A and B are shown apart, each in its own frame.
Chain A
Amino acid sequence: MDFLNGITLISNYILIPGLTYGSQLALGALGITIVYSVLRFSNFAHGEFMSFGAMSSILLCWLFLSLEINLNPLPTAIIVLPFAIIITIFYCILVDKIIFKFYRLQNSKSVINLIVSIGVMFFTGGLIRFIIGPGDKNFFDGERFILKAKTFKNYTGLREGLALKTTQGITIVLSIILVILLFWFLNKTKTGKSMRAYSDNKELALLSGINPEKVVLITWIITGTLACVAGTLYGLDKSYKPFTYLHLVLPIFSAAIVGGVGNPVGAIIGGFVIAFSELIVTFAYKKIFFYFLPNYLVPDGLLQILSTDYKIAISFIILVLVLLIRPTGIYKGKII
């Protein structure tokens, strides 16, 4: 019984939150990785693109709710998501046409593109705060839990509860669907293959008659989709605040680099590595030991490796470690 209690405890506090946060990071890191492998620059504006996607979802949610369209018990955000994706894609393409295209045609250095993306970040951040305000917006509606801790306890008779929030379930399911679609597109379709060819060897791809503008367009369509879904899911899960997305950029970059920049599989792995290490390092192990060890061996104290205050700092520490030990990331990414 103690053993089962311990397992439940781990799943409730590490496994499920880790899977959720990991999926959100993985979707974000995928966006950054794809922009990097095709357009060859680190896109600092990606966090604000995610924020933009979340904002569009919120605005559409309000619209749909005022029209009394909802999807009870699921949150309304699910119906509006396709429309929000379209808006985000449109914004990304607009930004590319007005701003990034100029530097692409000039073959600017990647640092210049990076600084340009900071300008885009400022502008988009300002635009978002201007439209929706800097405050906290909660746009979750519908049933809060798929599985309540109390129901689980009553059902199994265990001392530890296991809860699964609706947002967590939606995040995991949607991420899996999106990732499968993305890999199918990249590996099976002709357009996806031409995109990979372009990111592999630009000159050769151009010689074989691949239209660069089309590749770039598709890149932004994919990026916009990923950004919008990731941003909306994050906002749905943790309530939407515009400024949090700036702080989210760094864990996402860590995830992309840890996995190996330019490699989609790496981005997903990186996202989960970051998410789980944040949880594992800051978890208080006292209760686990309480279940797994005989009583006289259980030590005092909370047995945390680092206090919870350092949760986000862990992603940076991992980033630094990876850059030190294996700058190419887990899966060898592109180093230009």
Chain B
Amino acid sequence: MKNRSRIQILYFLMAIILFAVGIFQSWNVALTIFNLCLISSIMTLGINVQWGNAGIVNFGVMGFAALGGLANIIISMPPTSNAWETGGNSIVIGLMILVLSIIFSVFMFKRVNFNKRIKYLISFLIIFVGYFIMRLMVDSPIEQIEAIEPAKTGYLGGFNLPVIISWPVGGLLAAFAAFIIGKISLGLRSDYLAIATLGISEIIIYILKNEDWLSRGVKNVNGLPRPVPYEIELQSREWLLETANILKIPLPEVSSIIVKLSYSVLFLLVLLVILYLLQIAVKSPWGRMMRAIRDNEVSANAMGKDIKKRHLQVFIIGSAIVGIAGAMLTTLDGQFTPVSYQPLRYTFLIWIMVIVGGSGNNFGSIIGAFLIWFFWIQSEPLGLWLLSFITSHISDTNLIKSHLLENAAHIRLMFMGIILLVTLRFAPKGLIPEVKR
């Protein structure tokens, strides 16, 4: 009961804050923040199901989000003319050869009885040979594809399907990656797992940055199609003109608010569906089992629960949710920029949201995402305001003052650190603690 009133108060407060931004700053800003809050809260739900319910430390948020973004390109961009004909097939075959050689070497490693060192050597040789065959197959087609109008395309392009499809596909891509990563690293202790997932997510980003034939690399993919109409289109509609007249707001603003609102509706729908499913899962015997494994692996194992399998399962589910959110984020941005994926912004910030909101509580994760994202956006002006207040009695020509004001933007990293540390010290269970069952 106490938790319920907390949820109500905090959600109400958050709504008031967002409304206040709408009224005092502008509705455009408020809706932008709201949309990103929604996406962040889906990401935190994904991490919360792993950390809060199963105790798995996944620091690979950035990589899964980026894979979701990649799904946008693959699904929604038009295929580059001639790219598939010049070399698409040989790239696919080359990659297949690499994958097959890896599968073959793993199979050989598991099935053949030899001295361990010889086995390692043979496996390594198989992968090495596979890699070189792949390079032979792939190198010149990649060059040819990247040479097709490099300023505009220079990549394979996508399937030209509606962009909404990329959200579930992003989830699938992330789930597939999570399956492989989980197979590799879930046996590790928690802090090794954290470092391993962080490392693998960096590898994913490096691939997306450098494989131009797939994602155009650092040249970015701009102009992704939208699931909602464009502002310009809206502005020629009759009903919009009338609304703008009635509300006495300039036309461009009304149209952009409507675009953002339609995004919000879509995101909110996804969030509610995922939240609903997760709530059912947490309350079900499955959720109970996950918590039992989290709290005591040994006794859960003694009760006949397959811990490795369950961990892998929950790792895939959580990562898929992050992938969906990543796809939504790229759709909202309308462009895919591999350089923008930074661990600070994607991995660690999401983790702060989960911890502050309350690990193990889905409603807590959501409010954590809303509050922290709001702070992350608003702490820049807040820091500036704070510093101008502190330095208000110092003359404007003072070097220290100008230096402080110049660097005020970076105070937000300090804010985030302090928020996390204070939460961990004084309210380690977060704003809305896990429900005791």
Contacts and interface: CB of A to CB of B under 8 A. Distances in A.
A331 to B, nearest CB: 16
A331 B411 CA distance: 41
Contact of A124 (B189, B190, B417, B425): B417
Given A42-B194, A246-B344, A316 B200 contact: yes
A29 B210 CA distance: 28
Interface in B168-213: 184-185, 188-192, 194-196, 198-200, 202-203, 206-207, 209-210
Interface string A116-138: 10111111111101110110000
Q: Give the dominant DSSP class at A's interface.
A: helix
A246 B424 CA distance: 22
B79 interface: no
Interface residues of B, number: 43
A330 B6 CA distance: 51
B298 interface: no
B57 A119 contact: no
Contact of A316 (B194, B199, B416): B199
B295 to A, nearest CB: 12
B195 A257 contact: yes
Interface string A294-336: 0000000000000101101101110110011101000000011
A47 B129 CA distance: 37
Given A115-B351, A118-B348, A320 B416 contact: no
Given A122-B417, A325-B120, A112 B57 contact: no
Contacts of B209: 309
Contacts of B352: 118-119, 122
Residue with the highest number of chain B CB atoms closer than 10 Å, among A118, A125, A246, A253: A118
B421 A250 contact: no
A313 to B, nearest CB: 4
Contacts of B420: 115, 118-119, 122
A158 to B, nearest CB: 32
B355 interface: yes
B414 A127 contact: yes
Interface in A113-167: 114-116, 118-127, 129-131, 133-134
A310 B414 CA distance: 31
Contacts of A133: 406-407, 410
Contacts of A125: 344, 413, 417
Given A123-B421, A250-B195, A253-B195, A316 B410 contact: no
A47 B209 CA distance: 24
Nearest to B403: A133
Nearest to A324: B184
Contacts of B120: 325
A42 B191 contact: yes
Nearest to A261: B192
Contact of B417 (A42, A126, A250, A316): A126
B424 A309 contact: no
Interface residues of A, number: 46
Given A110-B190, A310-B210, A115 B424 contact: yes
B280 to A, nearest CB: 28
A319 B196 contact: yes
B351 A118 contact: yes
B418 interface: yes
Contacts of B348: 118, 121-122
Which of B202, B206, B344, B410 is most buried by chain A, counting CB atoms within 10 A of its CB?
B410
A111 interface: yes
B414 A130 contact: yes
A122 B406 contact: no
A120 B420 CA distance: 9
Given A313-B203, A327-B188, A129 B413 contact: yes
B375 to A, nearest CB: 12
Contact of B425 (A102, A315, A316): A102
Contact of A99 (B57, B192, B407, B421): B421
A295 B297 CA distance: 63
A41 interface: yes
A254 interface: yes
A313 B202 contact: yes
A70 B194 CA distance: 44
B416 A319 contact: no
Nearest to A310: B206
Given A102-B425, A133-B407, A309-B209, A323 B192 contact: yes
Contacts of A313: 202-203, 206-207
A316 B60 CA distance: 13
B334 interface: no
B198 A250 contact: yes
Interface string B359-379: 000000000000000000000
A111 B410 contact: no
A37 B410 CA distance: 33
Interface string B81-105: 0000000000000000000000000
Nearest to B55: A111
A19 B69 CA distance: 39
B287 interface: no
Given A126-B411, A250-B195, A323-B192, A119 B206 contact: no
Contacts of A307: 210
19 contacts: A42-B191, A42-B195, A114-B57, A115-B424, A119-B418, A122-B344, A122-B420, A125-B344, A126-B414, A126-B417, A127-B414, A133-B406, A312-B206, A313-B206, A319-B195, A320-B184, A320-B185, A323-B185, A336-B189
Interface of B: 57, 120, 184-185, 188-192, 194-196, 198-200, 202-203, 206-207, 209-210, 343-344, 348, 351-352, 355, 406-407, 410-418, 420-421, 424-425, 428
Given A118-B348, A129-B407, A336-B189, 6 more contacts: A118-B420, A121-B348, A130-B414, A133-B410, A250-B198, A312-B206
